[in-house]
Structure 1
């Protein structure tokens, strides 16, 4: 039997706060969504970065009024120029596998209803950039099927590789498959002999402020020799994590690991856990200890802990750094779905994007790597300024 759904749209940012209970009920019912689709993550993201942007909240409801699906977009509606929207959560905080949030059993109907709504409102937008969708997401097919016959140009582009592995057997068996297992063993034994060696895991709201501050200190130390972190730069992005960590901890999603030696933490891992899945979000380390590889040891402990806790999958999220490849034997991909409505403004946007990509490719060929990284950081800082100031409420 088909499910009747009606999609309503709100542009009121206050609606995000009032949806908390229904959003949380839908999220909990939805099986295994990522923590990046939780109310805690996305509402805090909006408070941190969205104050100078518009919001579009698409709610799919059944005849009884129950919330069956949700899609939240952010963007601007300028008087001139293209009207461009993206997924709330895209950008500065590095969230992977964003998507439509839908109740189990209603997923096809929810996506179809949202696609129909986007078609009805086609005159109101020029570009939809839905980045970091899971590869193979049914959202891609649903929106393409609904919009492409009406002149909307569709592009699906690869985004990130997210290394990971299914947990099978036990940690000892996994360790035998690791190329650097002997180095890992030596580092573990050496650190374990040092005065004050211990590993702590912060999970509760009460622990989170101190543990997050310590993690941020180590993260800054790790990236200072390279000009600063691109993942969690000081300022608004750090403030976002200070605000979201206790909210996630209250839901049981936070696992912040720290390795201590000689009375001081020297490595940390910022992890999230949900639905039998561990997400390795970020890390930090005191470079003075790098010859002893505390980061490798602590990562190994998170893997060992995931086996001990009976989890099913370990997700390193975006990036194919060597330390992730040490442990992972597979992974998943994310994609960007880019939709361009027919019309002059969309065509102008497409031409501008083509020119930017061409200039970027030239810059990559002629600029030394250090200059290219500096340009990326400058662009990131401009993005931070445009996204607006953090406002605690």
Structure 2
């Protein structure tokens, strides 16, 4: 059997985790078989509905699709905590070696928000039980949770973690209130608002036809979006992962399942009978996230693409009763002119034992790498561009 099973044995998980003063029977297990996520999908989504911080990135459809596209057999660590048989806390993790074992969230790399699931009726008890059940209490094992929202359920793990723990800064995310477009424009400075009103009138006059894609046609729409996305970013520093077949396979399956469950909308935009843009909007009770879009480069010469996409995404969020439109990670200029509010995600590093040598090494390496990235962006912009171009070429091959 592979090494991870001996490094992180499920036998280390306590059979019962009774919170102080409680009479309920709390139990925990770690599932390592690759079939665990799809088998537990219904139960997983039921818990997600009882966890107010859960986003679409914690849905079973997203996680199952990611595991099928990116997962390594034998490295899944699905941590499950139950009270009287009912699932009350859960974490979907996978093992990586750097060279020590590191537990990272399933979905890492392509998810803008990572989190665990805790039942809202007893979040602290559930967090304590989940912290005790995590198979990462040895000094050479690290749990590294990237892209954790400031109010995420995973933040409660820090309170109950007995080993070394650190909170480091991660990506900046931005969001807008889900308002009708005219109300959103009133929030902008006078001249900026007026320019955007002119662009909105031009969009309305152009006769763009917008349609929501039914679940059975989502894979074809995703493929069209990825082709347009590659076309619009050609020579301008596209995210290399978005150009590969593995990502396409993940997004086809995830988007189809989420559209069928009402957790996503794939919108297609036709102009003069031709498909000119496609975007994927992820929908959860707390926020709608504009995850990805593709637009023909020629459309930019005719219309304001950001205004077109934001307008339709806001309308979709309003129909769903969602209070926020998240622009997710990044501070690109096309987002900034809408004056979005900002939040910074956290990176939570948990190490086993008091000394936790692996955690100390991991934290130091993370800080050093973050400093190097900042220095390269400010002092050596040509190096960043060259690195991006090299990744694009590799992804193309």
TM over 0.5: yes
Superposition deviation, residue 270 in structure 1:
1.6
User: Which residue is 1:105 aligned to?
Assistant: 121
TM, length-normalised to structure 2: 0.82
CA contact (8 A) 2:89 2:116 kept: yes
CA contact (8 A) 2:376 2:383 kept: no
CA displacement 1:103-137 (0-9 Å, x = unmatched): 2202111110111223x751275211111111143
User: Which residue is 2:177 aligned to?
Assistant: 166
Selected match of 2:233 from 223, 244, 266: 223
Within a 5 Å distance, the mapping from 1:289-300 to structure 2 comes to: 289-295=299-305, 296-300=307-311
Structural RMSD (CA):
3.0
Within a 5 Å distance, the mapping from 1:222-301 to structure 2 comes to: 222-230=232-240, 232-275=242-285, 277-295=287-305, 296-301=307-312
Superposition deviation, residue 237 in structure 1:
0.9
Mapped pair 1:371 → 2:387: no
CA displacement 1:306-335 (0-9 Å, x = unmatched): 345543221111112222233354243310
Report the CA distance shift for 1:162/1:17 in structure 2 as closer, same or farther (over 3 A): same
Within a 5 Å distance, the mapping from 1:51-130 to structure 2 comes to: 51=72, 54-63=75-84, 65-76=85-96, 81-91=99-109, 93=110, 95-118=111-134, 121-123=136-138, 125-130=140-145
Report the CA distance shift for 1:309/1:71 in structure 2 as closer, same or farther (over 3 A): closer
Task: Give 5+ residue unaligned stretches, structure 1.
Answer: 385-393
Mapped pair 1:134 → 2:146: no
Superposition deviation, residue 294 in structure 1:
3.8
CA contact (8 A) 1:100 1:111 kept: no
Q: Which moved more, 1:248-257 or 1:176-185?
A: 176-185
Superposition deviation, residue 336 in structure 1:
0.4
Report the CA distance shift for 1:102/1:363 in structure 2 as closer, same or farther (over 3 A): same
Within a 5 Å distance, the mapping from 1:166-245 to structure 2 comes to: 166-167=177-178, 170-179=180-189, 180-194=192-206, 197-230=207-240, 232-245=242-255
Distance 2:371 2:340 in 1: 35
CA displacement 1:223-261 (0-9 Å, x = unmatched): 113143346223211221112121111101221223322
SS of 2:233 mapped into structure 1: helix
Superposition deviation, residue 274 in structure 1:
2.2
Distance 1:261 1:316 in 2: 25
